[in-house]
Amino acid sequence: MTHLSKTTAAAGVLLAAAALLTAGPAQAAPDLTRDGDYLYLTVTTGDGHSGDTRVALLLCDPPQGHSRAAEACARLDAVGGDITRIPPARGAMCPMLYAPVTAQARGQWNGRPIEYRETFANPCQLAARTGPVFAFED
């Protein structure tokens, strides 16, 4: 039989509250009940624990959601929605600068669920590797 003292129980409550407070700003979960091809996209600058986060909902019938939606939908269509299969930009020259960005995508393509997350050394490498998909404005 396990017995908890009031001090132990109080410490547990305080730790749980601290975890909630330090978890960062809450983000609304995407509505994943849509029909057609769509991706909920985020790009977070920094080390992944803090930084600026930009979001977009890319819809592809018709293309909308960010400034390069038509290009992004066409590129995704060419690779069956698999972001990892997007060919790298030819001749891209990125600086050897460490300014990490994390790209995430969640949604569906051709009825298949899509989950993608990758951290790149800098925004140039993100752009060279994913093309227009994560090239959205605030």
pTM value is 0.71
pLDDT tens digits, 28-44: 444 444 467 899 999 99
Q: Which residues span the domain enclosing 53?
A: 35-130
Whether 115 is covered by a domain: the verdict is yes
Q: Is the pLDDT of residue 64 over 50?
A: yes
Please state, as a whole number, how many other Cβ atoms lie within 10 Å of the Cβ of residue 60: 21
87: domain CATH number is: 3.30.350.10
Tokens of 41: 């996209």
For residue 43, CA distances in Å to 59, 63, 126 come to 17, 19, 10
Whether 4 is covered by a domain: the verdict is no
- Residue 73 has a pLDDT of 95
For residue 110, CA distances in Å to 33, 38, 74, 107 come to 14, 9, 13, 10
- Residue 13 has a pLDDT of 35
